[in-house]
């Protein structure tokens, strides 16, 4: 059973993982407060990208794609090598169907990037947050993922994917957001704004930002990037259409990182199947 499969109380394995997570926090140099060393999701107002965005294969590979003898794509859109035996978000073969990143892969990414499995914890121990991704105050590398036991089966996969976005962002050394602010801001409003009209934010509400969500200090840029990474995992075609510069920055940071690209790589259209059905209303 995967960490995202059920919402029981803390089982033995989850308790052990949570103990390891707390130990990592206790033993890490405390250059900042614990709260400052965690990227916390304050409430599960989180939605999947609007459906219906599709890009043709030629839109990503206008000059054709490089493949191996089995027809598997060997390079990403910018020409960086893809390690075809590892997780590749999106297309994997020339002219082939889009391959989703399954929910089980969230567990694998978390464990391989942090050295420990995601753990459930009480909402109280998370200080009222729905999840946390603590990171080392000096290296900024992620230390683990803690998820609230109170998350519903509908919200859990989406919140977990957002936290894995933090894991990837931290493991990549915090992807710069300079020059991406407009794309990231529009994306965040679309996917997080609480008042909904179907799959989209309801018109007339103020632009929803990480600051309005309760984040301050150095956290807002990291929230913007984590949500963009989640969108890339959920629907790469959508992200590349509405935020092409951001998608390119994520590919460069992840696919160009020798350690991280062994865990996950980003390429072309439609990755992680929609995680949890969104309600039209809160």
pTM: 0.76
HSE-CB at 149 with a 13 A cutoff on CA atoms is 13
Strand order in the sheet with 265-266: 98-99, 88-91, 265-266
- Cα distances (Å, whole numbers) of residue 195 to 192, 208, 220: 9, 10, 20
* Tens digit of each residue's pLDDT (9 = 90 or more) over 175-204: 999 999 999 999 999 999 999 999 999 999
Q: Rounded CA gap, 35 and 128, in Å?
A: 12
What's the pLDDT score for residue 73?
65
pLDDT over 70 (residue 83) = no
pLDDT over 60 (residue 216) = yes
Q: What DSSP character marks residue 73?
A: B
SS3 121: strand
Domain edges within the chain: 12-52+99-266
CA dihedral 114, 189, 244, 227 (to 10 degrees): 10
Strands 131-134 and 146-148: antiparallel
């Amino acid at each position: 059973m995967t960490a995202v499969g059920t919402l029981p109380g803390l089982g033995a394995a989850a308790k052990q993982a949570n103990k390891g997570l707390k130990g990592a926090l206790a033993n890490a140099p405390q250059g900042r407060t614990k709260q400052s060393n965690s990227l916390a999701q304050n409430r599960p107002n989180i939605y999947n990208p609007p459906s219906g965005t599709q890009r043709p294969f030629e839109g990503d590979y206008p000059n054709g794609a490089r493949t191996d003898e089995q027809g598997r794509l060997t390079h990403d859109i910018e020409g960086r090598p893809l390690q075809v035996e590892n997780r590749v978000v999106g297309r994997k073969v020339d002219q082939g169907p889009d391959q989703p990143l399954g929910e089980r892969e969230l567990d694998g990414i978390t464990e391989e990037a942090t050295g420990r499995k995601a753990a459930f914890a009480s909402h109280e121990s998370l200080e009222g947050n729905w999840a946390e991704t603590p990171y080392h105050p000096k290296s900024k590398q992620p230390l683990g993922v803690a998820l609230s036991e109170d998350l519903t089966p509908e919200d859990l996969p989406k919140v977990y994917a957002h936290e894995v976005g933090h894991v990837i962002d931290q493991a990549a050394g915090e992807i710069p957001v300079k020059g991406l602010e407009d794309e990231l801001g529009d994306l965040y409003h679309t996917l997080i704004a609480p008042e909904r009209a179907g799959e989209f934010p309801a018109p007339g509400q103020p632009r929803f930002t990480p600051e309005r969500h309760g984040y301050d200090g150095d956290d807002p840029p990291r929230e913007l990037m984590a949500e963009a990474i989640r969108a890339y995992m959920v629907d790469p075609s959508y992200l590349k259409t509405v935020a092409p510069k951001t998608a390119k920055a994520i590919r460069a940071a992840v696919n160009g990182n020798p350690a991280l690209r062994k865990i996950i790589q980003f390429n072309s259209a439609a990755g992680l199947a929609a995680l949890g059905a969104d309600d039209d209303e809160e």
